[in-house]
């Protein structure tokens, strides 16, 4: 049985501009000690999906309006706040992009770490403090003891993120959700933090959901990847398969629009034209259709479901043999994925979208 | 109470700019900076401010940018790359050194002289939300430079704005819209149009795409490349993302703590990085390919970038240098500041031990020579001729991936050739 099982999750926000359709039926599974990447651009619903899993949606605007989140066979959607509080930190922990906004600026590192530990474990203050020192040493902070009395602003960005990781792992959670953990960091510091994160997760057998917009980070850090667009999972595969055989036009577009460090100089970029859709309109058809060169008539009418790219009788949701699935009416062929544009003789690529203000 | 203030025209360190001592420069240089220093004073006290130190944002940089060229400036936050861009445009008064634009020394230029030069130098900013006045229409924003410099009549300016909007890929009819009505990518196009309005020679683009979504970034990169071809622009492209800088630049300067660590052609820098910092920086950039990531080894630099108000002595990188550790921590790195020296044609490195980098496992790892370059490695001319992807990747050693080539075989006809980089 999977550790986490999200089924048909629907999340809406009520704003004064109307309803925002943030997550539109997301399903995925995660095994114990598995690493899953969630890629997509800002507003694609990758963060909201995980806030919903943690039941941390901003209230009253954000609501789970449908679906289930099973964690160890228990549906989190039905739990009350006290039950959720028991789970958060202890079973499921989360680290965010900007550690400065998730650490309390007026409390010392010691106060925050001891508070977390004592909230879930019956330990004395002295034991909690010893544990805090142990954790900071574990995340590579040299001479942690005097630093315990410091405030978050006295640390650099990389050090703060280490403190966050230490706090997230304080209670040895089964699942760690890392939401853009290195986006605010410099590339050499990002390398430090990612290395630390993957080593600790492996040591403790923690399952990780890594949310990022950076396909490079996903390639290096995860075993399985879901690509999200406008509140839908549009492609799901092992990370190796996803990059070897991208099968959704959006994934293909992302791969061709990023310059690669190891590319031949002069290789042109193929951008995805147009802009992501306005989520204040209820989705009709495939949300990527307006920007998609592969679109066909059906794309305007109905959102396709995630289907295996190779016909199979049994769909594997998790693990190294997870079935490669894509939600597309007109999947790019491997040659087209390589070229970044439709190549078939009998298919006329769709015209580019018009750039108009929203 | 500590605050940072830009100093006035500092009396300290002004070079003895005797006219005859001028070094002969490359004839084509559009912009040349020599031993440029830009310090920001740290003052203390509320009523009487005392000078208690300096943030050495730029600490002795020499660089020349040729006409039609794109020079990339990379480095981590706080390395001074943005300050270089702003000092070149004379938004700051340099503490020391010289800024020469098209043969004219503008280091101390003021008033109308400076304004005349600024017409030829423009800037594109990082944040398309903060850099456009929310109370002005797109057309107002784009025509403002024209108005300031008194170019054309109202009607002519109106026409010019429509042309500029079309040039950057926006509908000319949307000039009367306000910035909030546009998406991030569209706003950045407006910023580009504003920079183009005065037909500048040099554009300093300071992180022009890092605030944009991944799928939009390529739109702006391609736009900048197209405009360079159309208008013969010269770019100083400042960014922290090495893959982007490598893509767009002809030459790259790698900065660390206010100094240039390495300066080389963008292909050369990737094929043969010779500064330990460049090697580490290249190794840290994630590559979107699990097969490549699986066989790469990262150099994990320890610690953080030291503070530019109190930089380490000698080579500022010595506190984090993997090579120095391997060489048994030689004293020279602490005692003596390395200067840029030419290791190969147009390839300069500021490291006492750059020779030792060549051929190390780290350098080989970063350039991936083991997996590259074989018989399938296409030459530069093949790439220029429109080969979209090299089918050079060997051995997909990343699990159950299909045996087919991971990213792409060579396309039969290839995409249409790019407009020439040189205008």
The partner residue sitting opposite A272, judged by closest CB among B215, B240, B405, is B215
Domain regions of chain B by residue span: 259-367
Report the distance separating Cα A142 and Cα A354, nearest Å. Answer: 55
pLDDT tens for each residue of B218-255: 999 999 999 999 999 999 999 998 999 999 999 999 99
Report the distance separating Cα B185 and Cα B73, nearest Å. Answer: 22
Top residue of B214, B273, B283 to mutate, by most chain A CBs within 10 Å, is B214
On the question of pLDDT at A352 being above 80, the answer is: no
Q: Does B226 touch chain A (CB under 8 A)?
A: no
pLDDT tens for each residue of A275-288: 888 899 988 999 99
- Kindly list the residues from chain B whose CB atom is less than 8 angstroms away from the CB atom of residue A321: 400
> Nearest CA of chain B to the CA of A122: how many Å?
35
Give the chain B residue nearest A219 (alpha carbons): B290
Task: Please give the helix or strand (H or E) that residue B225 lies within, else none.
Answer: helix B214-231
The partner residue sitting opposite B289, judged by closest CB among A192, A243, A357, is A243
Top residue of A240, A241, A276, A279 to mutate, by most chain B CBs within 10 Å, is A240
Residues of chain B predicted below pLDDT 50: 1-2, 7-23, 25-26, 370-423
Position B396 scores a pLDDT of: 34
C-alpha separations of A288 from A278, A283, A304 in Å = 11, 10, 11
Is residue B356 within 8 Å of residue B376, measured between CB atoms? no
Which residues are CB-contacts of B290 (< 8 A; sequence separation ≥ 6)? Answer: A219, A220, A239, A240, A243, B398, B399, B401
Task: Please give the helix or strand (H or E) that residue B246 lies within, else none.
Answer: helix B242-248
Contact at CB, A269 and B287, closer than 8 angstroms: no
Residue at token pair 């792992």: A169
Confidence of residue A17 (pLDDT cuts 50, 70, 90): confident
Is residue A207 within 8 Å of residue B326, measured between CB atoms? no
The partner residue sitting opposite A244, judged by closest CB among B77, B221, B401, is B401
> CB neighbours (10 Å) of residue B25?
12
On the question of pLDDT at A134 being above 50, the answer is: yes
Contact at CB, A271 and B182, closer than 8 angstroms: no
Residue at token pair 């208008």: B231
Position B84 scores a pLDDT of: 95
Listed in sequence order, the DSSP H helices in B9-79 are none
Report the distance separating Cα A247 and Cα A256, nearest Å. Answer: 13
pLDDT tens for each residue of B143-152: 999 999 999 9
Position A51 scores a pLDDT of: 94
The partner residue sitting opposite A266, judged by closest CB among B77, B384, B411, is B384
Closest among B314, B258, B260, B254 to B284, alpha carbons compared: B254
Position B50 scores a pLDDT of: 87
| A to B CB pairs, distance under 8 Å | 219
Position A353 scores a pLDDT of: 65
pLDDT tens for each residue of A86-95: 999 899 999 9
State whether residue B367 is helix, strand or coil.
Answer: helix
Position A264 scores a pLDDT of: 78
In chain A, the domains with their CATH numbers are: 31-57+80-91+175-339 (3.40.50.300), 101-172 (no CATH)
The tally of CA atoms less than 13 A away on the side-chain side of residue B23 is 14
The mean pLDDT value for A321-346 works out to 93
Confidence of residue A354 (pLDDT cuts 50, 70, 90): low
Position B364 scores a pLDDT of: 84
Q: Does B394 touch chain A (CB under 8 A)?
A: no
Paired tokens of A254: 């992302």
For strand B251-256 and strand B70-74, is the pairing parallel, antiparallel, or unpaired?
Answer: parallel
Choice between B352 and A96, residue whose per-residue pLDDT is larger: B352
Position B15 scores a pLDDT of: 43
Give the chain A residue nearest B389 (alpha carbons): A267
Q: Is A18 left (phi over 0), alpha (psi -120 to 50) or beta?
A: left
Report the distance separating Cα B318 and Cα B256, nearest Å. Answer: 11
Paired tokens of B258: 């206010």
On the question of pLDDT at A259 being above 60, the answer is: yes
Report the distance separating Cα A339 and Cα A137, nearest Å. Answer: 48
Length reported for chain B: 423
Whether the complex's predicted ipTM surpasses the cut of 0.85: yes
Closest among A187, A97, A182, A201 to A139, alpha carbons compared: A201
The partner residue sitting opposite A188, judged by closest CB among B213, B246, B281, is B281
């Amino acid at each position: 049985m999977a550790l986490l099982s999200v089924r048909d999750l629907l999340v809406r926000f009520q704003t004064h501009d109307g309803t925002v359709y943030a997550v539109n039926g997301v399903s995925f599974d995660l095994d114990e000690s598995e690493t899953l990447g969630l890629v997509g651009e800002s507003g694609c619903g990758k963060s909201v999906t995980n806030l919903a899993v943690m039941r941390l949606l901003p209230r009253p605007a954000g609501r789970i309006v449908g679906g289930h989140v099973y964690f160890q066979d228990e549906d989190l959607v039905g739990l009350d706040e006290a039950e959720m509080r028991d789970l958060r930190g202890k079973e499921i922990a989360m680290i965010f992009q900007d550690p400065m906004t998730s650490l309390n600026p007026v409390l010392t590192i010691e106060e925050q770490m001891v508070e977390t530990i004592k909230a879930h474990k019956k330990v004395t203050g002295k034991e909690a403090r010893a544990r805090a020192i142990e954790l900071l040493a574990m995340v590579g902070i040299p001479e942690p003891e005097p630093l315990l009395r410091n405030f978050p602003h006295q640390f650099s960005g990389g050090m703060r993120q280490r403190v966050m990781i230490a706090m997230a792992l304080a209670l040895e959670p089964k699942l760690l959700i890392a939401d853009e953990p290195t986006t605010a960091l410099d590339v050499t510091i990002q390398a430090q933090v990612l290395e630390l994160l993957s080593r600790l997760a492996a040591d403790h057998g923690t399952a990780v959901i890594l949310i990022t917009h950076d396909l490079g980070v996903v390639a290096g850090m995860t075993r399985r990847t879901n690509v999200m667009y406008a509140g839908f999972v549009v492609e799901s595969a092992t990370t190796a398969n996803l990059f070897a055989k991208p099968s959704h036009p959006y994934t293909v577009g992302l791969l061709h629009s990023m310059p690669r460090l190891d590319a031949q100089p002069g290789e042109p970029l193929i951008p995805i034209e147009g802009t992501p859709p306005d989520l204040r309109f209820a989705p009709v058809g495939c949300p990527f259709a307006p920007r998609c060169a592969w679109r066909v008539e059906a794309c305007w009418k109905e959102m396709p479901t995630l289907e295996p790219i190779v016909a199979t009788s049994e769909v594997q949701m998790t693990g190294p043999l997870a079935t490669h699935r894509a939600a597309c009416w007109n999947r790019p062929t491997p040659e087209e994925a390589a070229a970044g544009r439709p190549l078939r003789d009998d298919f006329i690529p769709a015209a580019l979208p018009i750039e108009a203000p929203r | 109470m500590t605050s940072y203030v830009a100093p006035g025209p500092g009396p300290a360190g002004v070079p003895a700019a005797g006219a005859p001592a001028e070094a002969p420069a490359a004839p084509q240089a559009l912009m040349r900076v020599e031993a440029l220093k830009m310090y920001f004073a740290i003052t203390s006290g509320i009523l009487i401010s005392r000078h208690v130190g300096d943030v050495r944002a730029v600490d002795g940089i020499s660089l020349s940018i040729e006409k039609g060229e794109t020079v990339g400036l990379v480095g981590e936050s706080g390395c001074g790359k943005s300050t270089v861009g702003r000092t070149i445009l004379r938004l700051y008064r340099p503490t020391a050194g010289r800024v020469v634009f098209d043969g004219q020394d503008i280091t101390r230029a003021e008033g109308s002289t400076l304004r005349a030069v600024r017409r030829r130098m423009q800037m594109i900013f990082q944040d398309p939300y903060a850099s456009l006045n929310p109370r002005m229409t797109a057309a107002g924003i784009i025509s403002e430079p024209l108005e300031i410099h008194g170019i054309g009549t109202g009607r002519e300016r109106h026409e010019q704005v429509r042309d500029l909007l079309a040039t950057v890929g926006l509908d000319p009819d949307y000039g009367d819209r306000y910035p909030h009505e546009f998406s991030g990518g569209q706003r950045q196009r407006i910023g580009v149009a504003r920079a183009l309005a005065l037909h500048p020679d040099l554009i300093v683009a300071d992180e022009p795409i890092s605030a944009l979504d991944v799928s939009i970034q390529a739109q702006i990169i391609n736009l900048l490349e197209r405009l360079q071809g159309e208008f013969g622009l010269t770019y100083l492209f400042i960014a922290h993302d090495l893959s982007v800088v490598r893509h767009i630049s002809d030459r790259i300067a790698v900065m660390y703590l206010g100094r240039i660590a390495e300066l080389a052609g963008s292909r050369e820098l990737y094929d043969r990085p010779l500064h330990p910092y460049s090697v580490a920086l290249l190794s840290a950039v994630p590559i979107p390919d699990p097969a490549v990531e699986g066989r790469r080894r990262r150099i994990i630099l320890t610690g953080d970038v030291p503070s530019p108000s109190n930089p380490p002595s000698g080579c500022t990188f010595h506190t984090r240098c993997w090579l120095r550790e391997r060489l048994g921590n030689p004293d020279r790195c602490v005692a003596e500041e390395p200067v840029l020296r030419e290791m190969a044609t147009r390839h300069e490195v500021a490291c006492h031990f750059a020779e030792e980098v060549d051929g190390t496992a780290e350098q080989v790892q970063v350039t991936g020579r083991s997996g590259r370059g074989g018989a399938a490695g296409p030459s530069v001319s093949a790439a220029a001729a429109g080969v979209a992807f090299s089918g050079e990747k060997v051995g997909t050693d990343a699990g159950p991936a299909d045996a087919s080539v991971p990213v792409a075989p060579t396309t039969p006809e290839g995409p249409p050739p790019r407009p020439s980089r040189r205008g």
